[in-house]
Amino acid sequence: MPKRTKSKAKRKTKASSPKRNAKPIEPVTPQYVPENASVVMALHDVIKVVKMIENHDKLTAFIRTIKNKGAEVRIPAQTVNLVKDFVATKGLHTNAVGKQIVNARKKTLEDTMFRTASATAAAADDGDPNQCVMGRVERG
């Protein structure tokens, strides 16, 4: 008896539905924190914010903006040490940024003295390929 093969029936494709126009984004006014006030925020929430910005392909623009504005974050020593331990135990210290985290430099006396903007800019180029300043201790 000859072997029969199943005939391949032509599949019917769905008629493409008309594309919808995206809803326009309405302008929003943020709820600003008063000047000279600070906010205590969990580290995992900060990471979620950065991840959301990265998922929307805006991380490069965000980094450029905060770098130009001179934004800074103060992190308690307990949190810094927890991150250092995590990086060291998970083997992330072979990465360039991981090396900076594990081998953080302490501030020297000359770093704590007042400097002009041009002297600070000249001192910022210390051969760091990532131009990151990680783990400089303020009171250490």
Per-residue pLDDT tens, the chain, 140 aa: give them: 666 666 666 666 666 667 777 788 899 999 999 998 989 999 999 999 999 999 999 999 999 999 999 999 999 999 999 999 999 999 999 988 899 989 886 665 555 454 444 444 444 555 555 555 555 556 55
What is the length of the chain? 140
The predicted pLDDT at position 9 comes to 61
CA torsion angle 134 132 66 31 (round to 10): -20
Cα 47 to Cα 12, 27, 41, 79, 106: the distances in Å are: 46, 25, 11, 13, 25
The predicted pLDDT at position 119 comes to 45
Please, where are the H alpha helices in the chain? 43-55, 59-69, 77-89, 96-102, 109-112, 117-124
Tokens of 85: 């331990």
Rg for the chain, CA atoms, rounded: 26
Cα 75 versus chain centre, distance: 15
The predicted pLDDT at position 91 comes to 92
Which pTM does this prediction carry? Answer: 0.57
